[in-house]
Amino acid sequence: MKKAIVFAKRNFIEMSRDTLSYIFCVAFPIVMLVIMTLVNESIPAEAEMTIFRIDNLAGGVVIFGQTFVMLFTALNVSKDRTGSFLIRMFASPMKPNDFTAGYILPMLAVALIQALCIFAAAFIISLITGFTINPLAILLLIPAMLPSALLFAALGFLFGALFSEKAAPGLCSIIISLGSFVGGIWFDAEATGGILLKICKCLPFIYCTKSVRAAITLDLSFDSFILPEIIVIACTVVLLFLSSFAFRKRMKADLA
């Protein structure tokens, strides 16, 4: 585990020195939070549309931010695969699990920092707009967002392992758009019904949004929080195994 932590530290430092990671992982989600709050202010009360109200919006934006965590995980892994850096690492005493942990752990730290920044921004907006967010919700948000953060980091790890430095970001962009759409971040997916709702429910993104939203509104009911969280954890476990397996297979193929 010590080697995994050393490797994770390297990955965190590399990412922290990339200005783009601050723009995409922190600044952009907060800008979206502000823009969508302004949109919400423009919607007449009679429309009874609460999706962009800050207590609902904050949870969606936390998940939106995590899609960029996926993008940067994919970039880190695919970039390392392109050069000789990973060859050196593979000739070192590191074990396969050290690589998985080393790539994913720093992204959890990034997701945590990101969630704290978004929550702080959302709390300030709530004071301005008058829709209250309980500051204690942060205590629930932290454990609630970790499974979805892990899910997106594992997805990024999978794309980084399977695709090149050029292809991986492109594919991640598709997931960012798809995840935002079918994850119910920018609209109330559950109010739609039909084939669209069925598609949304077949993918893990809507459960990520639902559980984090519930954590921020302190709604701990089975349907709103516990069940979505269980589904996210189950999908995360599957994706972690899948991405770790794909990474090992791909590296063996790259080195052969």
Partner 1 sequence: MKAISTVNLTKEYKKLTAVDSLNLEIEEGELFALLGVNGAGKTTSIRMLSCLSSPTRGTALVDGKDVQTDSSSVKSVIGISTQDTAVAANLTVEENLRFMAGITAPSTVAKSEINDRAEKMISLFNMEEVRNKKAKTLSGGWQRKLSIAMALIGDPKILYLDEPTLGLDVLARRELWKLINNLKGRITIVLTTHYMEEAEALADRIGIMIKGRLEAIGTVSELEEMTGKKGLEEVFVSIAEK
Q: How many residues make contact with partner 1 (CB under 8 A)? A: 24
**Closest approach of Cβ 256 to partner 1, in Å?**
6
Among 38, 42, 88, 195, which residue interacts with partner 1 (rule: CB under 8 A)?
88
Would you count residue 253 as binding partner 1 (CB under 8 A)? no
Largest CA distance in the chain: 65
Q: What sign does the CA torsion over 224, 121, 116, 135 have? A: negative
CB of 188 to partner 1, least distance (A): 41
* Nearest Cα residue to 40 out of 56, 58, 52: 52
Return the residues of window 54-83 that contact partner 1 according to CB under 8 A.
83
CB of 25 to partner 1, least distance (A): 16
Is residue 42 at the binding interface for partner 1, with CB under 8 A as the rule? no
122 touches 133 (CB < 8 A): yes
Residue appearing with tokens 């959890």: 108
Interface with partner 1 includes 18 (CB under 8 A)? yes
13 binds partner 1 (CB under 8 A): yes
Q: For the CA atoms of 207, 214, 49, 183, what is the dihedral angle to 10 degrees?
A: -20
Q: Is residue 12 a contact residue for partner 1 (CB under 8 A)?
A: no
CA angle centred on 197, ends 191 and 198, rounded to 5°:
155
Q: Which lies closer to partner 1 via its Cβ, residue 167 or residue 255? A: 255
- Helix 54-82, helix 96-129: angle, nearest 10: 150
By the rule CB under 8 A, 109 interacts with partner 1: no
Site for partner 1, rule CB under 8 A: 2-3, 6-7, 9-10, 13-14, 17-18, 83-94, 255-256
